Amino acid sequence: MAEHPRLLLHNFISPDQCKELEFIHRSCGVMGYRPGVLSTTLSHLIATGCPHLMLPFVPIRDTIKDLVEDFFSCHFDLFIEFTGLISWCKGASIGWHSDDNRPYLKQRHFAAVCYLNSYDKDFKGGVFHFKDGEPASIFPVAGDVLIYTADSCNIHSVDEVTEGERLTLTLWFTRDSAHDEDAKLISLLSQRLLNNEDNNPDPYLSVPASDNMYWFSHGHNQLGFDLRCARVHILGYNLCSTNNKECKVSDSSYEELLVNPLRLSRGDKILGKEFANSLHALQVVQFYYWKAHELKVARKGRNSTKSPQASLLEKTSGSDLVLPGDPKLAEDVLGCLSHDDMLNSFDWDDFALAIATWEAYIGELHKDLVASLPHWVKHQIIYLVGERQCLM
């Protein structure tokens, strides 16, 4: 094996897989392990009531594991130690390091970084560099995957992100079965699904994590914003009270509003539908953002009486929830150029169709999860059981 064992492959993940993982991260991501870094781990998806959103990861994890085992000639020898979506916002960077450079990371033997969006198009900065050997610099392109050993043969760094949000799917692999992520996830899943059967009538809905996981703080001067609200605002929506009445809250209780039913508004209209909480609303907003083009085409091709129509209310002044946080900072940290297309093509009836299609999508994933889990438990490994249905 070469002095610097590594491989860069182009177009390994399809554009739609990239978009689906982006949808999951923008709906479920929380503050990560370093300032300016957000993450969505599989255990977080389980803990927040979205275990079904693990399914899109499953075939991708499988093929990346095969690739790593092939390239490093260690068939049937590896366990996945960590799978997560990681985004780096404006200001984030990392200096020279190897991925096993802490005593508690010694079990990491190989790394795989899959780029889910692209340098210069979706973000600026964020170029990856190896200290020695070739390729020396990697300019992320959506769909590309980079694999390398986690030891000091592959010391690397990432330049500061100067604009936009740089998104990757990152996996680490280990030879040590004690660090097998699958065994831990399967145990969490079994507990969660068994408990849910009894007391959760609606198993698809997100359960928010603790509030501080959504608070993006910037610097030492207390500036910051709530990620859930910021992600909704950036796409042009507001969160509203359910009764269309003025609702102002003190900073200490705003979290309360985000875990209770609410509505969505845009311009001078409020959508009649009640969402269970801010994460439910956010997930639908992000789903529409992901599928906007297909939804428009699907609705035009259908008989309009059959297509869902949005029930809209006039907004009364002050019905938007007034929440703490700095919207300018949120726009600066999370805003990106590609949002503009969305702002121009918005349509409430497409949005109503997005709600119905999201429900079908989540229902399908949930069914697949329930069917897969007994196989995962039996074999103690997470793998693709059957084919995934394509909705559109």
Ligand X SMILES: O=C(O)CCC(=O)C(=O)O
Binding site for ligand X (CB under 6 A): 94, 99, 113, 128, 156, 158, 168, 170
CB of 69 to Fe ion, least distance (A): 20
**Cα–Cα distance, 263 to 244 (Å, whole number):** 9
**Cα–Cα distance, 155 to 131 (Å, whole number):** 6
In this chain, which residue has its C-beta nearest to ligand X?
Answer: 128
Q: Which is nearer to ligand X, 101 or 244 (CB)?
A: 101
The 62-91 contact track toward Fe ion, x by CB under 5 A, reads ------------------------------
**Cα–Cα distance, 59 to 65 (Å, whole number):** 10
**92 interface partner picked from Fe ion, ligand X, none, CB below 5 to 8 A per type:** none
Backbone angles phi, psi at 359, to 5 degrees: -60, -40
The 180-199 contact track toward Fe ion, x by CB under 5 A, reads --------------------
How large is the C-alpha radius of gyration of the chain?
A: 21
**Cα–Cα distance, 89 to 82 (Å, whole number):** 21
Q: Which is nearer to ligand X, 40 or 283 (CB)?
A: 40
C-beta separation of 91 from 160 below 8 A: yes
In this chain, which residue has its C-beta nearest to Fe ion?
Answer: 99
List of E strands, the chain = 6-9, 30-31, 37-41, 79-88, 94-97, 110-115, 123-125, 128-130, 137-138, 145-149, 156-158, 161-164, 166-174, 215-218, 223-226, 238-240, 263-266, 269-271, 312-314
Q: Which residues from 99-128 bind Fe ion, rule CB under 5 A?
A: 99
**128 interface partner picked from ligand X, Fe ion, none, CB below 5 to 8 A per type:** ligand X
CB of 156 to Fe ion, least distance (A): 6
CB of 209 to ligand X, least distance (A): 21
**Cα–Cα distance, 158 to 137 (Å, whole number):** 9
Q: Which is nearer to Fe ion, 24 or 150 (CB)?
A: 150
Per DSSP, the three-state class of 31 is strand
Q: Which is nearer to ligand X, 156 or 299 (CB)?
A: 156
Beta strands 215-218; 223-226: pairing state = antiparallel
Determine, following the binding rule CB under 5 A, whether residue 350 of this chain makes contact with Fe ion: no
**190 interface partner picked from Fe ion, ligand X, none, CB below 5 to 8 A per type:** none
Site size for Fe ion (CB under 5 A):
1
CB of 150 to ligand X, least distance (A): 9
- Contact segment (CB under 5 A) with Fe ion among 93-101, 123-131, 326-334, 380-388 equals 93-101
Q: Which is nearer to Fe ion, 154 or 357 (CB)?
A: 154
Largest Cα–Cα distance of the chain, in whole Å? 68
CA dihedral 344, 350, 356, 357 (to 10 degrees): -70
**316 interface partner picked from Fe ion, ligand X, none, CB below 5 to 8 A per type:** none
**113 interface partner picked from ligand X, Fe ion, none, CB below 5 to 8 A per type:** ligand X
CB of 94 to ligand X, least distance (A): 5
Q: Which is nearer to ligand X, 114 or 352 (CB)?
A: 114
Q: Which is nearer to ligand X, 158 or 353 (CB)?
A: 158
**169 interface partner picked from ligand X, Fe ion, none, CB below 5 to 8 A per type:** none
**Interacting residues of 106 by C-beta distance below 8 A, sequence separation 6+:** 100
**Cα–Cα distance, 69 to 72 (Å, whole number):** 5
**79 interface partner picked from Fe ion, ligand X, none, CB below 5 to 8 A per type:** none
Complete edge-to-edge strand list for the sheet that includes strand 269-271 = 238-240, 263-266, 269-271, 312-314
Neighbours of 17 (CB within 10 A): 19
Neighbours of 274 (CB within 10 A): 12
CB of 90 to Fe ion, least distance (A): 20
**158 interface partner picked from ligand X, Fe ion, none, CB below 5 to 8 A per type:** ligand X
Q: Which is nearer to Fe ion, 100 or 165 (CB)?
A: 100
Q: Which is nearer to ligand X, 166 or 266 (CB)?
A: 166
Q: Which is nearer to Fe ion, 43 or 170 (CB)?
A: 170
Read off the DSSP letter of residue 388. P
List of residues contacting Fe ion (CB under 5 A): 99
